[in-house]
Structure formats: structure tokens, C-alpha cells
Amino acid sequence: MNRRLQQFLNAENITQARFATMIHVTPASISHILDGRNRPGFDFIQ
């Protein structure tokens, strides 16, 4: 999941902070997913 998310952010030229704002989560949530510390829950994926 984290690799796919990073590919998406790169392809769309979106920062982690901007993406977090777009989907109404904290920037830390995105950072933790990309670092592999957290796995996204169903609500995040939806």
C-alpha cells in the first residue's frame, strides 16, 4: 500500500500534506502509512 500511495503522489505531483488535506486526515497519518508504521484502515481506503 505504501509503495502504491507514493507512486500516486509522485504521478500527480501532490505533497503528502496536500493529499492529507484533500482526504481529511492528518499529514502524520499519511507519513505513517508511507513509512510503513501504520496500515490504513477501511475508512481510509474507502
**Looking at per-residue confidence, does 42 or 39 come out higher?**
39
33 falls within a domain? yes
Enclosing domain of residue 10: 2-41
35 falls within a domain? yes
11 falls within a domain? yes
User: Into how many domains does the chain fold?
Assistant: 1
Rounded to whole angstroms, the Cα distance separating 46 from 10 reads 21
Rounded to whole angstroms, the Cα distance separating 37 from 13 reads 23
21 falls within a domain? yes
Residue 3 has pLDDT above 80, yes or no: yes
Q: Phi/psi at 44 (nearest 5 deg)?
A: -65, -45
Q: What is the pLDDT of residue 35?
A: 87
In terms of phi and psi (left: phi > 0; alpha: psi -120 to 50; beta: otherwise), the region of 36 is: left
Which tens digit of pLDDT belongs to each residue from 4-37? 999 999 999 999 999 999 999 999 999 998 988 7
**Looking at per-residue confidence, does 27 or 43 come out higher?**
27
Q: What residues contact 37, with CB distance under 8 A and at least 6 apart? A: none
Q: What is the pLDDT of residue 8?
A: 94
Task: Provide the pLDDT confidence category of residue 2 given band limits of 50, 70 and 90.
Answer: confident
